[in-house]
Amino acid sequence: MKVLFTFVPREDQQQRLTNEFPEVQFHFAKQDKSLLPEAEIVVTYGEDLSSEDIEKAKKLKWIMVVSAGVEKMPHKAIQERGIIVSNVRGIHKTPMSESVLAHLLSLKRSLPVLYENQRKKEWNRRVGSSELKGSTALVIGPGAIGAEIGRLLQAFGVYTIGCNRSGVSAEFMDEMVRFHNIMEALPKADIVISVVPSTKETKNMLKQEHFQAMNSDAIFMNFGRGDLVENAVLLEALNKEEIAFAVLDVFEEEPLPSHHPFWEMNNVIISPHVSSHSSKYVERSLDVFIPNLKKWLAEDPNPSNLVNMEKGY
């Protein structure tokens, strides 16, 4: 049986796979898809498969996506063929929550100012630091990642409000609000963090009125998907100082075009969709893949973290 990786893991990680599964032929090939017609399993970051690829991949039965989002995959072609899709939901929570806290603490403790002053060799003690403690954070979409962010925020003495469609309680949230009632919660929040995936419901979910309702000192963080809010809406909120800061890991268009005003704005931090990156990422993906491949070889085609391609998550 052949397994095609559309990226190349480290040497020791390849070794781990071949040692564990001597009966399987692994191919690690970035961009080279010539082996697609023979592969039963494809392991991919989920951005490099077209519907033509699916058509060529006659033997393909399982796509293992080492990412959380599947919105760039050819849903229709995959569904028609009944190909199983699974992902690595859950492995993003550590790097992403550390990134969220890194950005928040960096702003509160004036690290960008310190770095800038060091570049100028300037000993300047007027850096205007404040504290994270005592803030209130609104977490939109408190799933596994949001809960981990909530846990860390609470450790810093931050009051957490979770926001989802149902208003059903979520872990590490001091209180919950239904998205329907978000307007009541927005003025209370010093920090508004979105970690929602891209679905029909979340597209352009945040509008002008929501930013107008936010605290003018608020930090808005989009670590979910870029289509949560239109660039123009966010840009206006920042220019009108309806909010104080935006930390953006995702954008309507990625890469963010080089002429976009966000790049030069003092109240915007650009993180080029790297908040889930980690030197431990591929290792953890293999921790998910290996037990699933064992089951697969034992004729149990039910990998963990199955993705419903109709719902999109």
Query: Residue 47 corresponds to which amino acid?
Result: E
Does 12 engage in binding with its own copies (CB under 8 A)? no
Between 105 and 183, name the residue whose CB sits nearer to its own copies. Answer: 105
Looking at residue 186, the DSSP 8-state letter turns out to be G
Which of 15, 80, 127, 308: binder of its own copies (CB under 8 A)? 127
User: Can residue 105 be called a binding residue for its own copies (CB under 8 A)?
Assistant: yes
Backbone region of residue 312 per phi and psi (left: phi > 0; alpha: psi in -120 to 50; beta: other values) = left
With binding defined as CB under 8 A, does residue 287 bind its own copies? no
Kindly write out the interface string for residues 208-247 of this chain, putting x where it contacts its own copies by CB under 8 A and - elsewhere: ----------------------------------------
Q: Tell me, what amino acid is at 149?
A: I
Longest dimension (CA), the chain: 66
Question: Do the beta carbons of residue 165 and residue 177 sit within 8 Å?
Answer: no
Residues 245-274 that bind its own copies (CB under 8 A): 254-256, 258, 263-264, 269-274
Tokens of 86: 């699974």
Run of H or E including 96: helix 93-108
Place of tokens 């080089």: 258
Options 34, 79, 124, 239; binder of its own copies; rule CB under 8 A: 124
What tokens does 51 get? 């519907």
Nearer to its own copies, 84 or 88 (CB): 88
Asked if 77 and 60 count as a contact pair (C-beta separation under 8 A), the reply is: no
Nearer to its own copies, 92 or 210 (CB): 92
Question: Distance between the two ends of the chain, CA-based, in angstroms?
Answer: 28
Q: Does 286 bind its own copies (CB under 8 A)?
A: no
Q: Give 51 or 110: the residue with its C-beta nearer to its own copies.
A: 110
Question: Could you list the residues that contact its own copies (CB under 8 A)?
Answer: 94-95, 98-99, 101-103, 105-106, 108-112, 114-115, 117-118, 121, 123-125, 127-134, 151-152, 155-157, 254-256, 258, 263-264, 269-275, 277-280
